[in-house]
Amino acid sequence: MNPEPSAVDTVIDAVSAVFMVVGAVMSLGAAIGLLRFPDLMSRMHAATKPQVLGLFLLLASVGLQLRTWWVWPALFVAWIFQVLTVPVSAHMVGRAGYRTKHLHRELLTTDELEAVVQKAADKKTADGRAAGGQEADERAAHDGPADDGASA
């Protein structure tokens, strides 16, 4: 869009080239973490975090290369959408991984969810006793997190 190719053009090209290479390296880092980390939680950590920065860098390089101002809001919408959805899906995957015990307990330094899950299981068991009947009790015991490796 500039009338004459100038030194500014070269600088913008160089910056966007660096952004593109670094953004691609972020994807590579996510893939390496996915391959090398031992359990689901650390793999989730590696898979979700570099992608946000990588996508930001790549969208910034798109905006720098197009040299138009009106493309920036669309890029911003794309990035905001990514930032809003990635934590939610990572949270859901981590939650499901905790509930289905896809984690190595010896690798955790702290487990703040365990007390909450235990409390919910106790409450469910107490409710089942109050309602009476062996079926409700069995169901509570089956749904609770205390059963080790019982097939669903």
Partner 1 sequence: MMEVVLTVTAVILSLAAAGAIVRIAIGPSLLDRVLASDVLLAIIGATLCIDMAVNRHQNNLMLLVALSIIGFIGSVTVARFVADRREHPNES
Q: How far apart are CA 132 and CA 139, in angstroms?
A: 12
User: Residue from 69, 115, 130, 148 that binds partner 1 (CB under 8 A)?
Assistant: 148
Q: How far apart are CA 99 and CA 93, in angstroms?
A: 10
Quick one: 84 or 130, whose CB is closer to partner 1? Answer: 84
Contacts of 57 (CB under 8 A, 6+ apart): 19, 20, 22, 23, 26
In the complex, the smallest distance separating the C-beta of residue 34 from partner 1, rounded to whole angstroms, is: 5
Please state the length of the chain: 152
In the complex, the smallest distance separating the C-beta of residue 64 from partner 1, rounded to whole angstroms, is: 8
User: Residue from 53, 96, 116, 120 that binds partner 1 (CB under 8 A)?
Assistant: 96
Distance (Å) of CA 128 to CA 8, 28, 124? 72, 50, 6
Binding mask 25-64 for partner 1 (x = CB under 8 A): x-xx-xxx-xx---xx--xx--xx--x--xx--xx-xx-x
Q: How far apart are CA 107 and CA 41, in angstroms?
A: 10
In the complex, the smallest distance separating the C-beta of residue 149 from partner 1, rounded to whole angstroms, is: 5
In the complex, the smallest distance separating the C-beta of residue 131 from partner 1, rounded to whole angstroms, is: 25
> Is 105 a binder of partner 1 (CB under 8 A)?
yes
Q: Please count the residues of this chain forming the interface with partner 1, following the rule CB under 8 A.
A: 59
